[in-house]
């Protein structure tokens, strides 16, 4: 990476760009990539974090139960949203918008009783999913920043491809134990082998937020009239003013039956009710995203008080279908178990590519005494190992926080950020190599003990589960143990003297 | 970092700054023009045209970023964004009229 302006040729200029985009956005992109990777198993993480729920649910029945629960407990809301349980998520979710200014409130419901009672209050996998594109920042700033990071990743990948001399040969090259050369080989191998995935996920990630980031084509074509745009872009979605006359909701069971008939038998993903309890109530039933690659493939709208069908749309427009398929590719909800594990592994590879890239930036400099490189080396410890530790802490908090404390989900999130902040500070004050050793050691302990903590607190896990056929809890424990083993192996490597780098004391 | 290569002149610094501006704000403005101007040029219904144009704009954005840093000089980087951007905007404006 040259420090001067990129003037010497395409490859050098792209090398320069790749390096600088990487160092400016690398930490942020890593956090987004790793939480996105965890989000592949959003449903499963949610189930693991709500161990009280054991019964599988009938999705249609659970949707109806969820609507009934909202009707008795939140009749006056602006809108209700109910998400169906499926093969990967045991609980239905009920969410509501209390008033235009209010925050959304959501509950995971017990599929059997239809109530949230008896289930520990947690964000579950939703935390990683939301962090992935909202970064815990207020709307819309988190989404803007995530879009910017996504574009930076896309630029980093494209410029990385141009930089590459021997893209095919690097499939087969991994020289271990050679200091910088090994990090570079790892960076290339992890970056090149799943390259189609990396390109797809970064491009589609940026695409998902274009209604927010690039609204100009729509705004100009519809002369700044969003209602007109929505009516044409989402035909069959009915928007009505509140009538301010109370009216009960028609039988949702009949709407579910009719929706499934119109969807050709495909399952239902979620139901939204606008103006619930009002004469102008509108019920929209959305086809499940697991039924096809495309997102939002079909929906049907009912008049809330009469139950009459007032709108239907099955996507057939080429451009919109293209967009929906790209959107669905990013979400990966269409995938079976094998596809999901591939998404998960490719996501890990992408995260590791970013991590090794950040390491290369500082390892490549012999003169790490120079403060910018020293600072990068130290911050990278907390940004990578610290984030993994924070994720483990989030799961520990889920098991250890009492079920009755006020604002329990917020405390789980606080545990995550407090640990991350502590790990970042630890990385800054310790010499990088010692920092890595200690942070990775802490990861090995945190992930390695998690199955034990979980088994002691909730009784479900590897040992009990293997006998009972409790697949999710067995696999979860195995993943935690694998993460612990990886961390321990990496920490152990850090205890050996560096081979390719003299002047180790310089870093202290 | 000042240990590698020749020292930076003021001219170099301004050049890098101009490229960074071109590769960030310039590239975003270029993508915005693509989104807004391509939609009326496409022989599609309005709802399809705005979606297709936004899809094309997303691909135009990283290309513009890479151009900003690949161009031989910072001046060329800006010219390469402004000229096609202005031409597209004019064509789009004429088509939308």
Nearest CA in chain A to B2: A3
Average pLDDT, chain A: 89
**Higher pLDDT residue, A166 or A108?**
A108
**Higher pLDDT residue, B54 or A188?**
B54
A240: Cα separation from own chain's centroid? 33
**Model confidence, pTM:** 0.92
Task: Convert the pLDDT of each residue in A354-392 to its tens digit.
Answer: 999 998 887 765 555 677 788 888 999 999 999 999 999
Buried b or exposed e, range A404-432, using 16+ CB within 10 angstroms: eeeebbebbbebbeebbebbbebbeebbb
Task: Convert the pLDDT of each residue in B53-91 to its tens digit.
Answer: 999 999 999 999 999 999 999 999 999 999 999 999 999
Is the CB of B48 less than 8 angstroms away from the CB of A372?
no
Q: Residue A106's beta-bridge partner residues? A: A95
Among residues A496, A484, A210, A204, the alpha carbon closest in space to that of A347 is found at: A204
Task: Convert the pLDDT of each residue in A414-470 to its tens digit.
Answer: 999 999 999 999 999 999 889 999 999 999 999 999 999 999 999 888 888 877 878
Is the CB of A3 less than 8 angstroms away from the CB of B5?
yes
Distance from CA of B86 to the nearest CA of A (A): 16
Which residues in chain A touch residue B48, judged by CB atoms under 8 angstroms apart? 317-320
Distance CA B70, CA B57 (A): 20
The pLDDT of residue A167 is 63
Average pLDDT, chain B: 92
User: What is the C-alpha end-to-end distance of chain A, expressed in Å?
Assistant: 25
Is the CB of B50 less than 8 angstroms away from the CB of A221?
yes
Is the per-residue pLDDT at A226 higher than 70? yes
The answer to whether A304 touches A284, Cβ cutoff 8 Å, is: no
* Model ipTM over 0.90: yes
Highest-confidence range of A64-68, A202-206, A274-278, by mean pLDDT?
A202-206
| Distances, alpha carbon B79 to alpha carbons A12, A70, B23, B26, B64, in Å | 21, 58, 12, 11, 12
Which residues in chain A touch residue B8, judged by CB atoms under 8 angstroms apart? 3-4
Tokens describing residue A167: 């893209």
Distance CA A243, CA A241 (A): 6
Give residue A73's pLDDT band: very low, low, confident or very high (50, 70, 90). Answer: confident
Distance from CA of A370 to the nearest CA of B (A): 7
Is the per-residue pLDDT at A494 higher than 90? no
Distance CA A150, CA A33 (A): 9
Is the per-residue pLDDT at A397 higher than 90? yes
Helix (H, G, I), strand (E, B) or coil at A37: helix
The pLDDT of residue A289 is 93
Task: Convert the pLDDT of each residue in A17-33 to its tens digit.
Answer: 999 999 999 999 999 99
Which residues in chain B touch residue A207, judged by CB atoms under 8 angstroms apart? 55, 58
User: What is the C-alpha end-to-end distance of chain B, expressed in Å?
Assistant: 53
Helix (H, G, I), strand (E, B) or coil at A57: coil
């Amino acid at each position: 990476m040259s420090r001067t302006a990129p003037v010497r040729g395409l490859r050098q200029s792209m090398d320069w760009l790749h390096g600088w985009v990487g160092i400016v956005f690398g930490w942020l992109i890593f956090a987004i990539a790793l939480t996105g990777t965890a989000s592949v198993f959003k449903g499963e993480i949610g189930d693991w974090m709500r161990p009280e729920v054991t019964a599988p649910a009938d999705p249609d029945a659970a949707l109806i139960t969820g609507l009934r629960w909202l009707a008795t407990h939140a009749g006056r809301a602006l809108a209700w949203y109910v998400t169906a349980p499926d093969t990967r998520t045991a609980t239905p979710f009920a969410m509501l918008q209390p008033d235009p200014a209010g925050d959304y409130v959501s509950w995971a419901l017990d599929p059997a009783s239809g109530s949230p009672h008896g289930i520990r209050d947690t964000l579950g996998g939703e935390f990683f999913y939301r962090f992935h594109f909202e970064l815990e920042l207020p709307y819309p700033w988190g989404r803007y920043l995530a879009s910017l990071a996504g574009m930076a990743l896309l630029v980093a990948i494209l410029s990385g491809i141009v930089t590459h001399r021997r893209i095919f040969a690097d499939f087969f090259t991994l020289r271990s134990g050679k200091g910088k050369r090994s990090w570079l080989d790892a960076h290339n191998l992890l970056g090149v082998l799943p390259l189609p995935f990396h390109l797809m996920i970064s491009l589609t990630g940026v695409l998902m937020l274009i209604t927010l980031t690039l609204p100009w084509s729509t705004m100009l074509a519809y002369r700044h009239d969003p209602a007109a745009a929505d009516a044409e872009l989402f035909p069959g979605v009915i928007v009505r003013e509140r009538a301010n006359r109370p009216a009960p909701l028609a039988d949702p069971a009949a709407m579910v039956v009719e929706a499934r008939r119109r969807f050709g038998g495909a399952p239902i993903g979620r139901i939204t009710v606008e103006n619930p309890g009002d004469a102008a109530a509108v019920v929209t039933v959305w086809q499940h995203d697991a039924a096809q690659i495309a997102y939002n493939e079909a929906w049907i709208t009912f008049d809330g008080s009469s139950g009459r069908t007032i709108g239907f749309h099955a996507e057939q427009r080429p451009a919109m279908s293209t967009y929906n398929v790209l959107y669905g590719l990013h979400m990966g909800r269409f995938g079976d178990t094998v596809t999901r594990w591939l998404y998960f592994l490719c996501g890990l590879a992408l995260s590791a590519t970013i991590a090794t890239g950040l390491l290369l930036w500082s390892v490549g400099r012999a003169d790490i005494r120079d403060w910018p490189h020293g600072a990068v080396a130290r911050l990278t410890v907390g940004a990578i190992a610290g984030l993994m530790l924070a994720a483990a802490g989030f799961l520990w908090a889920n098991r250890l926080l009492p079920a009755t404390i006020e604002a329990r989900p917020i405390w789980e999130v606080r545990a995550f950020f407090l640990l991350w902040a502590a790990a970042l500070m630890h990385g800054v004050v310790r010499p990088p190599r010692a920092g890595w050793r200690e942070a990775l050691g802490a990861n090995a302990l945190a992930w390695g003990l998690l199955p034990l903590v979980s088994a002691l607190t909730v009784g479900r896990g590897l040992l009990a589960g293997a006998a009972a056929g409790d697949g999710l809890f067995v696999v979860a424990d195995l993943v935690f143990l694998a993460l612990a083993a990886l961390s321990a192996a990496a920490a152990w490597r850090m205890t050996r003297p560096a081979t390719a780098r003299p002047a180790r004391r310089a870093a202290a | 970092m000042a240990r590698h290569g020749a020292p930076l002149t003021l001219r170099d610094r301004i050049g890098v700054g101009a490229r960074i501006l071109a590769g960030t704000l310039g590239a975003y403005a270029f993508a915005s023009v693509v989104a807004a101007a391509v939609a009326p040029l496409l022989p599609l219904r309005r709802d399809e045209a705005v979606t297709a144009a936004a899809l094309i704009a997303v691909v135009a954005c990283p290309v513009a970023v890479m151009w900003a840093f690949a161009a031989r000089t910072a001046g060329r980087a800006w010219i390469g964004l402004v000229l096609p951007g202005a031409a597209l905007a004019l064509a789009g404006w004429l088509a939308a009229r």
